[in-house]
Chain A
Amino acid sequence: MDPLRWRRFGGPRGSGLTVLSRGIVRLFELVARPFRGGEAVDREIATHLELQIEALIAGGMSPETARRVALDRFGDVASYRRGLIRMDDKAARARRWRAWWGDLAQDLGLVFRGLRRSPGFGIGVIATLALGIGVNVTMIGLVDRLLFKAPAHVVDPGAVVRYTLTQTHPSFGSFTNASVTFKELDLQRRSGALTGLAAYYPGSVSYGRGESARSIRASLVTADFFGLLGIRPATGRFFDPADDPIEGGSPIAVISERLWVREFAGSREVVGRSLWLGSRQYQIVGVAPRGFAGIDLNAVDVWLPLNTGAREFLGSGDEWRDTWDWQWVRLVGRLRPEATRERASAEATALYRAAVADHHERKDDRGTVTFQPLIAGRGTDQSQTPTIAALLAGVSILVLLISCANVANLMLARGLSRRREIAVRVALGVGRGRLIRATLLESVCHAGLASVVGLGIAALAGSVIRSILLPGIDFIDPPVDGRLLAVAFGVALVAGSVVGLAPAIRLWHLDPAADLKAAGPTTGDHAAARTGLLGFQAVLSVVMLLCAGLYYKSLWTAASIDFGFRPEGLLTADIDLGVAGYGREQQWAFYDQALERVRLVPGVASAALTTTNPFWTRQASSLRLPGRDSLPRLKTAGPYFSAVTPEYFATLGLRVARGRGFADRDNAGAQRVMVINETMARTYWPGEEPIGKCAFVGRAATVCREVVGVTVDASNESLEVEPVMGYYLPLAQVDGLAADRFVMIRATDRPEAIAGDVGRALQTLAPNLPVATVRLMQDQIEPLLRPWRLGATLFGLMAAIALAVALVGLYSVLAFQVAQRRRELGIRTALGAGQSELAKMVVVQGQRVVLTGIAIGLVVSLAAVKLLVPADLLRRLLFQTSPFDPVVVGAAAGSLIVTTLLGSLIPARRAGRVPPMEAIRAD
């Protein structure tokens, strides 16, 4: 190819050799490669014809005849030429492929030999990348499960929609609810955009009897629920409309495959057998297919027909069927093929508004129905967990980036120490492209191995997170599935290419001559790139630290929230008496006895009965005020009530702000009274004295109850700061409004110490009863803290990983630089620089990079939050915590600075201790 070399070997008009020795011919070919493709074929044919013509002329032919004969003997020149070129091209292509694969195999061999030769470097790279990939895959798996995966077995899930109702309140803004009234089911079944609409109501029910009884998740469903989703039973059948008449339905149930396997060993004869749910036996008619556990995140184990089940589990007769007050069922529909969600939503909105137009309690001409997709709707429950998980997954990419930056830095450093070796390879004729490919191949191989390790980490971390941080969600599928495998290898491929890029770029600008001459690696080389990568790590680390800090602050704020009562030291106890066949009156008598018995347990300060259990159950009833047509509504709906014994307020530590609490004299024969909370007082009687006012409680109430006291607001549903209206009735005057009973117990000391005694005390009242459930109030609050705990734990973990990786990265960069500058440092020492002076130099160098990184990280992330994140999303993501919290920002920056100091300590000490003469002699 190169004309100069070609001539040096005496090209066509050269030496005049008649026969070239084989060796020279070979060398000639190697260096000169005179022809390619068609050119070579043309030359060959031309030579042939020329020699032939010359020979013929020498034999006595005229040139004209000789030319004709030569061409004649050759045949169709053009056609032969085309054939030969085709053959040569094909052969050349095959040769190139063979060479490419051969090189690849050779380079792969080099990668693994390198791993064996210096395992430290390989292990460092693989471990760092594995951490990054592992964290990412774990988070992506979590988010995939929480947000993106359609429930199994649903036919054409894209056409399945969830009904949500957005109501707008003049003073509280709009709020969206997936739980709606039962009336809306019949109403919306008229919609022409849907082929069907089913209702379900998720809850829990006690399963079994006696000591082995426990709570499982149940869902009340309309008969068309399974058919609408397109689910087919694994065995038996699902419900028919005939199964679920409004009255007099027989108790039947469909169970999940999980329950089937666990309790019935997957026996085919399960259909027709019975199981105890609550106080009745239900006959099993069918089993749902494996992997189907309802369409919400919480896995359901048993489905019951809605009419029959509601009678049993909602109590209160049929009130739920025909009221606009009870928002409880969730609706799920299937769109007609030609319908869109928008059209269906518009039609449903019109139906809703028309239906409530002449209903004064609910008059709502701004209420809007929106059909949500099935999958997105999985996040519509109150919990922030899915949103926070999505944020975690986004931020986990930062961990991967930090690992990549670190590994790129390591590879750059190694590239420097290998530059002579590489220069030699280049001088020996190994192409630059081949070297770059080998580098990329090496990093992709490392990343591939890292992804295998990372998948292991993800499988482990996934199950730990599931069981410890998300116990409320029953995961059915394994933590690592095919989708995640693909994600992991995809991530590895990208990460490997990115990481290999820096050294590859270096190879591109390779100057073998200079590298061969250089005595050894020099400091100036790529210092900027390496420092940049380090700064980049600092930027990302500070973002991670900020997230972790904000979630710790959120968790702390949420955990130390003022509930209006003192949950610490409180116990609640109840026994499922329905199982034992007790009637209502018997149950109430039992609890009166239980209260007396529990008070005698040593360590019990006080005890009271209530009809609702904070953070566990709540109850509402219709309420009217004399002389008023309609009452103001709050975003949090309500008012909710509890019927309580007189000691209730003292036991919970709930302060009565005005008026009085209840006393023994508020008995069945006395004037009906109630105590309301401050929000209810403010909402119903703004600016007035509520004490002395009265209200009718209960649909059939004829007596107006007098308000005798006002308590501070007590949270009993969620951590949200939205005010909730609530009121209390004396248990003696409850007039059949509430069926449930719970015992609330305040311990003098540690509540967990007396929980066992309380349980046993209740048991002695009736030895044949199922075990009493005794819970710590703190345990009931704990699930509400879960999203924040999830965020705090995982962000904390990621931040710790980021810090560790950054520490190692900083250490290796500084240590490497100190090693490179031994000579310079030695000279400085010789010239009189003190140890501490040199050490300081190294520390300052590290801090400068990191401080710049911190500054950039803080500015960028805070600006991003300010400009890009809507305020209401931020409110959902952080619990009453400002993203600009100065303590959090300070702590994030501070911990990174301390880490940097730690990372620079050893290199700094080394820098100060370089023996002057040895360092100078070293070269």
Chain B
Amino acid sequence: MRGQPLEVLQGTLDTLMLKALSWGPRHGYGVASWIRETTTDELSIEDGALYTALHRMEQRGWLAATWGVSEHNRKAKYYELTELGRRELKDARARWTRYAGAVSAVLEARA
């Protein structure tokens, strides 16, 4: 069953992107396409919003950015997790699991 793509909350988007970067440095397009592939287009995220989040997280010190050359010889900005970012990913994941667990518990409760 495939309905309208789901809206994503900002905090959740950050977490997804941190996850996308957990395998190593990627440029913005790499992050966008990874999320798109992984979620099989279930989530409706504008690519521009991804960049806003990347810049924001860079300024918070979760990501470090460097300029490099992409697959097709294009100058691209590569992002990678900093130690701070890695910790944030861990925390966010734990928070999400608790949250989802709690929500599921309520939804699946009987009487």
On A, residues with C-beta under 8 Å from B are: 12-14, 16-20, 22, 25-26, 28-29, 32, 34-35, 40, 43-45, 47-48, 50-52, 54-55, 73-77, 79-80, 83-84, 87-88, 91
Contacts and interface: CB of A to CB of B under 8 A. Distances in A.
Interface string B14-27: 00000000000101
B52 A54 contact: no
B29 A51 contact: yes
A48 B47 contact: yes
Interface in B71-95: 71-78, 80
Interface string B41-79: 000001111011001101100000011111111111110
B47 A52 contact: yes
A233 to B, nearest CB: 65
A25 B28 contact: no
Contact of B48 (A16, A50, A80, A91): A80
A520 B55 CA distance: 51
Contacts of A12: 69, 73-75
Contacts of B67: 25, 28-29, 32, 34-35
B38 interface: no
* Secondary structure dominating the interface of B: mixed
A74 B28 CA distance: 11
B74 A51 contact: yes
A75 B73 contact: no
Given A22-B25, A50-B74, A77 B55 contact: no
A88 B59 CA distance: 8
Contacts of B75: 12, 34, 43, 47
* Secondary structure dominating the interface of A: helix
A91 B46 CA distance: 23
B88 to A, nearest CB: 18
Given A18-B71, A87-B55, 19 more contacts: A25-B78, A28-B68, A34-B75, A44-B51, A44-B77, A45-B51, A47-B27, A47-B29, A47-B76, A48-B29, A48-B47, A51-B70, A51-B76, A52-B29, A54-B72, A74-B46, A80-B49, A84-B51, A87-B59
Nearest to B52: A83
B76 A44 contact: yes
Given A20-B68, A20-B69, A75 B48 contact: yes
The interface centre, meaning the residue of A47, A76, A84 with most chain B CB atoms within 10 A of its CB, is: A47
A639 to B, nearest CB: 93
Contact of A75 (B29, B47, B68, B70): B47
B51 A80 contact: yes
A25 B74 contact: no
B66 A91 contact: no
B31 to A, nearest CB: 10
A39 to B, nearest CB: 11
Interface of B: 25, 27-29, 32-33, 46-49, 51-52, 55-56, 58-59, 66-78, 80
A7 to B, nearest CB: 14
Nearest to B69: A17
A91 B68 contact: no
Contacts of B28: 44, 47-48
B47 A74 contact: yes
Nearest to A26: B66
Nearest to A95: B59
11 contacts: A16-B69, A16-B73, A17-B69, A22-B25, A47-B70, A48-B27, A51-B70, A80-B51, A87-B52, A87-B56, A91-B55
Contacts of A22: 25, 66, 80
Contacts of B68: 19-20, 25, 28
Contacts of A34: 67, 75
B100 to A, nearest CB: 27
Contacts of B77: 40, 43-44, 47
Contacts of A80: 46, 48-49, 51-52
Contacts of A28: 66-68
B13 to A, nearest CB: 13
The 8 closest A-B pairs by CB, nearest first: A75-B46, A80-B48, A75-B48, A25-B66, A74-B47, A51-B29, A20-B68, A48-B29
B77 to A, nearest CB: 5
Contacts of B80: 22
B69 to A, nearest CB: 6
Nearest to A14: B69
A80 to B, nearest CB: 3
B84 to A, nearest CB: 16
A40 to B, nearest CB: 7
Contact of B59 (A25, A44, A91): A91
A13 B73 contact: yes
Given A75-B47, A91-B59, A48 B52 contact: no
A74 B69 CA distance: 22
Contacts of B55: 84, 87-88, 91
Nearest to A16: B73
A18 B25 CA distance: 13
Contacts of B29: 47-48, 51-52
A87 B25 CA distance: 22
A17 B70 CA distance: 8
Nearest to A27: B66
B9 to A, nearest CB: 17
A77 B66 contact: no
